[in-house]
Chain A
């Protein structure tokens, strides 16, 4: 898919949605389920919304729910700024504004017939969760499906129910690792990139979706290239202070691209050189 293929969906006017459920994922991450007060709007895995807390402001948040049920929209949010802290404090019944969906989605069609490798660090599982759910729904379209999930510590793991369910599901090969652990954790300790050389998948016939801190994605790409994955089959999703969501304000500009309009999903060759430039 090229940038020009992507329609600019949504408008600059948000629509009201009512919060139906607030699920606390960790001490500073919540998943908010919302239902539209008007007709639901379809989205594709990897797209994001601009979420508006009335009177406070907007933040770009990836959609973390099942694309097959656009009437129940989920956003998973870490409290890091004014808007996201406000979102973390909201209760069911509250009305918020949402506009979108925006952006280039994950290349699910390109992955068909190939192994699908998903690498997620921290809250990075949220933007790839719709892709996992969709791939499992159409399991026959893919070869191996592998999820490599990293977190800072066991208490920072998000979507634990999903991880447990997927782990028990033979349709997906789940590997979880944490950077730091104390007594009680019986899983792996170490960076998620350490899993890349040893997990079974076909490097020459796979598509990789990566989401997490930029440095994690950079290390992941290096390890994937070393294993023989073609650079153009490695996809990352980026965020740099999105404001308008439609490529007009320039806040999320990264060199020649606007992340909200041209991304947030990019193939590695599209952005690898840009991420190496300190000034961008």
Chain B
């Protein structure tokens, strides 16, 4: 179990948080412009990065804010934990 330094609450145990996907897996700006294949690829091909990745996490049992965690999935090293833009 890792520590995540929530920018709103401070250092907390991982079990207060819920993983929410890879930041790089952004919702397309204009879904209507995509072909069926491109849209299905967005919906069903979810990144599973080995190594460093930016991830959304939700501090479910804390401030209930979404945060961005820069984590190495190989060894759980954390580089930075930032607020999401919509938090201010």
- Are A and B interaction partners? no
Binding site for A on B (CB under 8 A): none
